[in-house]
């Protein structure tokens, strides 16, 4: 699979650049508006997680690689921080009242809910989170 790639320093300010890159790839692929929106939220959540946790003591980089696999848009987000599978985090309780709601824990939940498939692997010293969004809605066509 051929990937369009971008690398940047894992700092939240770079979100705008990341967003433009991924949004541009999604447009070239022809992802519909709703899925494109979900993709951009999922990308922000993955990126912010890396900015917050991957490099506690030093500056580090993040790579975004967009590709096409048949009818699916694929995005791999990778870092070379300590091994960490973000998918092991539990989902938040989304039914609690305002005062009981925890501030946080929603990011990974959004990644799961707004993509069609998400998987983690550790490869060559890198954490790789693979997000897949299919062109058509699951269960239709």
* Site residues, another protein (CB under 8 A): 12-13, 15-16, 33-34, 37, 40-41, 44-45, 48, 51, 94-99, 101, 103-104, 106-107, 109-110, 113-114
Asked if 22 contacts 37 with a C-beta cutoff of 8 angstroms, the reply is no
Closest distance between another protein and the C-beta of residue 70, in Å?
26
In terms of CB distance, is 8 or 68 closer to another protein? 8
Closest distance between another protein and the C-beta of residue 103, in Å?
5
In terms of CB distance, is 53 or 110 closer to another protein? 110
In terms of CB distance, is 114 or 133 closer to another protein? 114
Q: Is 47 exposed, middle or buried (0-12, 13-18, 19+ CB in 10 A)?
A: buried
Strand segments, DSSP code E, in the chain are 4-9, 61-69, 72-79, 117-123, 126-134
Q: Does residue 94 sit in helix, strand or coil? A: coil
In terms of CB distance, is 1 or 16 closer to another protein? 16
d(CA 63, CA 55): 14
């Amino acid at each position: 699979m051929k990937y369009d790639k971008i690398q940047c320093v894992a700092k939240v300010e770079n979100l705008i650049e990341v967003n433009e890159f991924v949004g541009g790839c999604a447009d070239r692929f022809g992802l519909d508006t709703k899925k494109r929106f979900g993709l951009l939220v999922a990308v922000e959540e993955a990126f912010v997680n890396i900015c917050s946790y991957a490099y506690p003591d030093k500056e580090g980089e993040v790579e975004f690689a967009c590709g096409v696999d048949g009818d699916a848009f694929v995005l791999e987000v990778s870092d070379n921080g300590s091994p960490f599978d973000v998918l092991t985090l539990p989902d938040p309780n989304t039914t609690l009242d305002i005062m009981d709601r925890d501030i946080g824990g929603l990011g990974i939940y959004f990644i799961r809910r707004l993509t069609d498939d998400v998987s983690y692997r550790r490869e060559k010293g890198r954490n790789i989170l693979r997000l897949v969004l299919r062109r058509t809605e699951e269960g239709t066509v």
